[in-house]
Amino acid sequence: MIFIFGPTCSGKTAVALELANMINGEIISADSRQVYRHLSAGTAKPEGKWRYGNCSCGAFIVDGVPYHLVDFLEPDETFSAGEFVRRATLLAGKIKKRGGVPIITGGTGLYIRLFRNGVTPLPGRDENVRSELLGLEKKYGRPYLHKKLAAIDPVSAERIHPNNIQRMIRAIEVHQITGVPFSQVVQQGKIQHPHQGKNKMKGLKNAVAVCLSMDREKLYKRINNRVRQMLSNGMIDETVAVVGMGSPDDCPAFKSVGYRHVISYLKNKISFNYMEEKIAQDTRNYAKRQITWFKKERDTNLVDGGSGNIRRLAEKIAAIRGDNRQV
């Protein structure tokens, strides 16, 4: 098993695809934004097509490689880190049974950490808890919920903006279900449940983990170029289409970086140039947070992806894999 992670625009997707073709790999996406249908340009989703064989579930194929956990949810559906771990664990097992190599790639740090640690995933949604919290938000407002979060988990309260109702509710929900602060889950990658064990996944012990790095100036230049490309490739049109399908402005899919600025532009609140500037700025800030997060990942091989030579990078990762062919 191979993990390839790093900040946005570091070349993860291209390298993972090249590597997959070299070693009979299948990719499991660890990207919380690319799970949504209808939003491709703004999430930098790889271009692919669904193919259906003997089962109705089908497979998303990119350059001849099965690419799992992308393009399967509607914009108003939610997808948690716990659900990612559950699905990715099942997929990795099936890939290995087929004689393939699971390649987990993406930039959502919590997904990577929880899966690598091989521990019990986050608890599922509790509709009773959520209903109660939404009632409090409706009655007292979002600042009230943020104060409630700060009282039980000041670290998460500092990280989560008071307007991000989805993340606030999830953090409080996890605490109420488990008795453990959500920030502790993020930091340690585990929850100690009184009736659950660690449930470690077989095969992770010898897994290879690679973090793609890049000179900050070069990375930011790539980000700026990508934002221009996303806008020219239809990010605005796909936003209009999703809104036209009845999805509200604050639906889960629009939590992805950039879409709120597109919506503001469509409402004539900001200019096109300002929208582009803010999307690029938010993406650069997101990359900063990713870099900080991935620096804390243990047992990781740091690979400089600045050359842009995808073939050479894939060969380097294959060489790192070396004697661990059994994984």
C-alpha torsion sign, points 61, 67, 70, 73: positive
Find the CATH number of the domain harbouring 182: 1.10.20.140
CA distance 121 to 84: 9
Q: Structurally, how many domains does the chain consist of?
A: 2
The percent of the chain in helix, strand and coil, each rounded to the nearest 5, is 50, 10, 40
Q: Is 9 helix (H, G, I), strand (E, B) or coil?
A: coil
User: Could you tell me if 26 and 49 lie in one domain?
Assistant: yes
Q: Considering the domain boundaries, does residue 224 fall inside one?
A: yes
User: Could you tell me if 53 and 169 lie in one domain?
Assistant: no
Parallel, antiparallel, or unpaired: how do β-strands 301-304 and 25-29 relate? unpaired
What is the model's pTM?
0.78
How would you write the pLDDT of the chain (327 residues) with one tens digit per residue? 999 999 999 999 999 999 999 999 999 999 999 999 999 999 999 999 998 755 446 789 999 999 999 999 999 998 888 788 889 999 999 999 999 999 999 999 989 988 887 655 567 778 888 888 999 998 999 999 999 999 999 999 998 988 888 889 999 998 888 788 888 876 665 544 333 344 445 556 679 999 999 999 999 999 999 999 999 999 999 999 999 999 999 898 998 899 999 999 999 999 999 999 999 999 999 999 999 999 999 899 999 998 889 999 999 999 998 744 444
User: Could you tell me if 42 and 152 lie in one domain?
Assistant: no
Query: Can you give the residue range of the structural domain that contains 167?
Result: 127-188
User: Could you tell me if 148 and 284 lie in one domain?
Assistant: no
CA distance 235 to 310: 26
User: Could you tell me if 109 and 232 lie in one domain?
Assistant: yes
| Residues contacting residue 201 through CB under 8 Å, at least 6 positions apart | 89, 92, 115, 118
CA distance 21 to 197: 36
Element (H, E) at 128: helix 127-140
User: Could you tell me if 159 and 260 lie in one domain?
Assistant: no
User: Could you tell me if 28 and 155 lie in one domain?
Assistant: no
User: Could you tell me if 58 and 139 lie in one domain?
Assistant: no
